[in-house]
């Protein structure tokens, strides 16, 4: 029987605290030897505060484009120094006068005011500008506030839910006729970050596309079945910076092999930038604005424009 275990968090709590999925934590443990959690009396993983602190730093570096293989083996002090160097070389930040009130609402736990503020920005800007201009800055600012400890995990989750509701209600009011392509949107199993996918869906709806969102973390077999049974023209998937690249490569190769040739596959999200070369038959949407020309090109190729 194990005794004198260090105080720490279980794997579910670490997932909530760092934004790194349970699957990713286990993969890193096998592949890189970090983290190496202790085990409690039931055999469950227990992560020390020091490990959790390092995992937070790793998440911040992943979001800035670093690859796990380059940084997971580094010491915490080295990671902190790397973050400082990256911050010093970044361009000076422009004031976020239209975004900072979000943090104020979240810090004061005034969720009613948060909802009113988001709705007000949507009304003033319109859906296109809200999704393409306001939300990217808001997402980054909320993420920075979470990393810096200005807000907690539940407040970050609250922002995601509130802004998602705001966008979905706005999409519901769109009245233009729906035309091809029919697009299925989801993330693969283990991928729990879906805000970017919602932004893509909004852009597609504004282009008059018919969309089906199947939510997050859908197993490969179900993705294939849904695409075929719904008769979709395009599968749009999003990967975050934390999704393991080796698993992503295998997944994309299997999707391309199993889906009909007529089904296009569009890949976006921060994790899509980690590929030097995507498998043949996979189109990369590097940024949100790429949705518009991608739809246009799809329709032009089929003489639908």
The pTM of the full predicted model, rounded to 2 decimals, is: 0.82
Q: Nearest to residue 216, comparing CAs of 181, 199, 191?
A: 191
Which residues have a Cβ under 8 Å from the Cβ of 52 and sit 6 or more positions away?
Answer: 8, 9, 14, 17, 18
* 9 neighbors 17 (Cβ within 8 angstroms): yes
Give residue-wise pLDDT tens across range 165-180: 999 999 999 887 889 9
Q: Are strands 45-46 and 38-39 parallel, antiparallel or unpaired?
A: antiparallel
Check residue 70 and report its DSSP letter.
H
Domains, in order of start, for the chain: 11-89 (1.10.1660.10), 100-172 (1.10.1240.10), 179-301 (3.40.50.280)
Helix or strand (DSSP H, E) at 38: strand 38-39
Using 50 as the pLDDT threshold, list the residues of the chain that sit under it. 1-5, 92
- Measured in degrees and rounded to the nearest 5, phi and psi for residue 232 equal -75, 155
Report the C-alpha gap between 139 and 130 in whole angstroms: 12
Report the C-alpha gap between 99 and 97 in whole angstroms: 6
Sign of the C-alpha dihedral computed for residues 222, 253, 193 and 295 taken in this order: negative
Check residue 159 and report its DSSP letter.
H
Give residue-wise pLDDT tens across range 25-79: 999 999 999 999 998 888 889 999 899 989 988 988 888 778 888 899 999 999 9
Per the prediction, the chain carries an average pLDDT of 89
Report the C-alpha gap between 95 and 99 in whole angstroms: 9
Report the C-alpha gap between 236 and 187 in whole angstroms: 8
Report the C-alpha gap between 60 and 147 in whole angstroms: 8
């Amino acid at each position: 029987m194990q005794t004198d275990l260090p105080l720490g968090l279980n794997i579910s709590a670490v997932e909530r605290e760092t934004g790194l999925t349970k699957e990713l934590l286990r993969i890193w443990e096998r592949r890189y030897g970090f983290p190496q959690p202790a085990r409690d009396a039931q055999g469950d993983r227990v992560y020390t505060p020091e490990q959790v602190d390092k995992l937070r730093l790793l998440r911040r570096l992943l979001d800035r484009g670093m690859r796990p293989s380059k940084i997971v083996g580094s010491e915490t002090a080295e990671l902190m120094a790397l973050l400082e160097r990256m911050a010093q070389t970044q361009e000076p930040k422009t004031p976020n006068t239209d975004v900072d009130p979000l943090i104020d609402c979240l810090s004061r736990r005034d969720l009613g005011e948060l909802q009113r503020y988001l709705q007000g920005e949507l009304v003033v800007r319109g859906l296109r500008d809200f999704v393409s201009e306001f939300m990217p800055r808001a997402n980054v600012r909320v993420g920075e506030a979470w990393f810096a400890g200005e807000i907690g995990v539940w407040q970050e989750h609250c922002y995601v839910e509130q802004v998602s509701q705001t966008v979905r209600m706005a999409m519901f009011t769109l009245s233009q006729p729906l035309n091809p392509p029919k697009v299925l949107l989801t993330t693969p199993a283990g991928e729990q970050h879906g805000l970017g996918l919602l932004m893509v869906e909004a852009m597609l709806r504004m282009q008059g596309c018919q969309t089906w969102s199947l939510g997050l973390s859908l197993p490969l077999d179900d993705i294939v079945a849904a695409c075929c049974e719904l008769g979709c023209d395009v599968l749009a998937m999003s990967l975050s910076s934390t999704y393991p690249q080796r698993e992503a490569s295998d997944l994309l190769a299997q999707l391309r092999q199993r889906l009909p040739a007529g089904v296009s596959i569009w890949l976006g999200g921060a994790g899509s930038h980690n590929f030097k070369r995507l498998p043949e038959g996979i189109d990369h949407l590097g940024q949100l604005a790429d949705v518009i020309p991608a739809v246009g090109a799809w329709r032009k190729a089929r003489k639908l424009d």
